[in-house]
Amino acid sequence: MTAGRSHETRRYALYGWLLLTPAVALMSLFAFIPAGATAWASLFSRGTNRRPAHFAGLDNYTQLFADPTFAKVVTNNLLYAGVTIPVSTAIALGMALWANARIPARGFVRAAYFTPTMLPMIAAANLWLFFYTPGIGVIDKIAGLFGFGPTNWLGQPDTALWAIIVVTIWKESGFFMIFYLAALQTIPPDLHEAARIEGAGRWTYTRRVLLPLLMPTTLFILVNALINSVKLIDHLFILTKGGPDNASKLILYWIWEMAFSYFDAPHAAAMTVLVLIVLGIVAAIQFRVIDRRAHYR
């Protein structure tokens, strides 16, 4: 009896593993093994022909923390995330509420909002390069109408990062809007009518009913925006290459440079591990905190 049962259990376990195998194989090949290898590589010194790599413990990490460029890049990325995440989420929500209302040419408005998302980031960055061009770019042309002189938006340390931030917000808001729009469509119009009868104005309805019901979507968007604030660096290659003087350099760009321009794989690996750890912690906090306040149907 028990033998038969354990046989049965083992058979089910076998089925389970067989079903998991394709996913496990692919995930291992492209995610788990590279991640493990990166973590492992970050513990070794940089190998050259004369001095092969040797185990260095946490040396790479201590060196990173002492490096002013690393500090600068981390500060940049924090500012970048701190501005792009809330601003693009807020704009996305605003646009979704607007595009969900009964307005003329609703389809056109939605499509227009979504267009930046359909463009490849490289193409969008090239577009913005023309906007930002000192003197002849659209932005300076418009500024000129009001009597302002030309500004090298991408070329000076004070404005370069902010110029990048604007491009990112422009690119991301339309994408996030689609999620909000989809979520808004699932909220029955009855709720608004019931709220109106109960005496709630537009703002009360938005605050007490709409925003809480959109919370799961907001959580999803915040996590995505967080990931993008680290992941999305395509436009840096076109617009500033991280300059001037590292003013617009973000961490992933710095990792890329470290690994493929300076061929310092161990330091790049160490930074990658740090990024993974930080992202993991932040995502966990986001889920914990917002999950309690989100209502899932």
Interface ranges with another protein (CB under 8 A)? 188, 190-191, 193-200, 204, 208-209, 212-213, 215, 295, 297
For the CB of residue 189, give the shortest distance to another protein in the complex, in Å.
Answer: 9
For the CB of residue 192, give the shortest distance to another protein in the complex, in Å.
Answer: 9
Residue 239 to residue 288: CA distance in whole angstroms = 37
For the CB of residue 208, give the shortest distance to another protein in the complex, in Å.
Answer: 8
Residue 242 to residue 235: CA distance in whole angstroms = 10
- Secondary structure (3-state) at 155: coil
Give whichever of 106 and 208 is closer to another protein, judged by the CB atom.
Answer: 208
- Alpha-carbon distances of 215 from 90, 124, 290, 295, rounded to whole Å: 13, 30, 8, 7
Q: Are 174 and 95 in contact (CB under 8 A)?
A: yes
What is the tally of helices (H) and strands (E) in the chain?
14, 0
Residue 263 to residue 76: CA distance in whole angstroms = 23
Give whichever of 11 and 207 is closer to another protein, judged by the CB atom.
Answer: 207
For the CB of residue 287, give the shortest distance to another protein in the complex, in Å.
Answer: 18
For the CB of residue 88, give the shortest distance to another protein in the complex, in Å.
Answer: 25
Give whichever of 158 and 193 is closer to another protein, judged by the CB atom.
Answer: 193
For the CB of residue 195, give the shortest distance to another protein in the complex, in Å.
Answer: 7
52: left (phi over 0), alpha (psi -120 to 50) or beta: beta
Give whichever of 54 and 295 is closer to another protein, judged by the CB atom.
Answer: 295
For 126, other C-beta atoms within 10 Å of its C-beta total 14
- Secondary structure (3-state) at 205: helix
Mention every residue, 6+ apart, whose C-beta is less than 8 A from residue 9: none
Give whichever of 210 and 270 is closer to another protein, judged by the CB atom.
Answer: 210
Give whichever of 52 and 199 is closer to another protein, judged by the CB atom.
Answer: 199
For the CB of residue 190, give the shortest distance to another protein in the complex, in Å.
Answer: 4
Distance in angstroms between the alpha carbons of the first and the last residue of the chain: 43
Q: Are 70 and 251 in contact (CB under 8 A)?
A: no
Write out the H or E segment, with its range, that includes residue 84: helix 68-100
Give whichever of 47 and 201 is closer to another protein, judged by the CB atom.
Answer: 201
Rounded to an integer, what is the distance from CA 2 to the centroid of its chain? 52
Sort 182 into a burial class: Cβ within 10 Å, 0-12 / 13-18 / 19+.
exposed
Give whichever of 218 and 228 is closer to another protein, judged by the CB atom.
Answer: 218
For the CB of residue 215, give the shortest distance to another protein in the complex, in Å.
Answer: 8
